[in-house]
Amino acid sequence: MIRESDQIDTRTLSPIQLAYIGDAVYELLVRTYLITNKELTINKMHKSAVDFVKAEKQALYIKEIENILDEEEKDIVRRGRNSKSTTPKNTSFMDYKYATGMEALIGYLYLRKNKERIFQLFDMILAIEKE
């Protein structure tokens, strides 16, 4: 976890670096949600977590919540989406790009110590998932 005393200049980080940390933060949010809100076996928790974090779902989530993002957040998503990266075999190129944008946003918010906004966005993701 990032300490309150840690100062990281997010402007100097690439979108891929933001997505790298954002991926870990998002995974932790998902796992925490699953363990505290569902009575599932470990195997079922794992399968649910994989469903939450796959690029196809992340692309859906970011497209659904994009309209409530402020301009700075939209810029981070755009930078993440436009970053150069390789595409895994198991997803479409565009889904992977949008997922990278979402992860970059989560990483950015985490490094800016904006937990409240992360939780707000995650609550919206959960609402989308329950639809």
* Residue range 71-91, pLDDT digits in tens: 999 999 999 999 887 767 788
Find out whether 128 and 60 touch, Cβ atoms under 8 Å: yes
Looking at the structure, give the CATH architecture of the domain made up of residues 12-130.
Orthogonal Bundle (1.10)
- Model confidence over 3-54: pLDDT tens digits? 666 677 788 899 999 999 999 999 999 999 999 877 778 888 899 999 989 9
Q: Which of 25, 7, 6, 2 is nearest to 105 (CA)?
A: 25
Domain ranges for the chain, please list them.
12-130
23 is catalytic: yes
Place of tokens 């300490």: 3
The residue annotated as part of the active site, out of 23, 51, 70, 123, is: 23
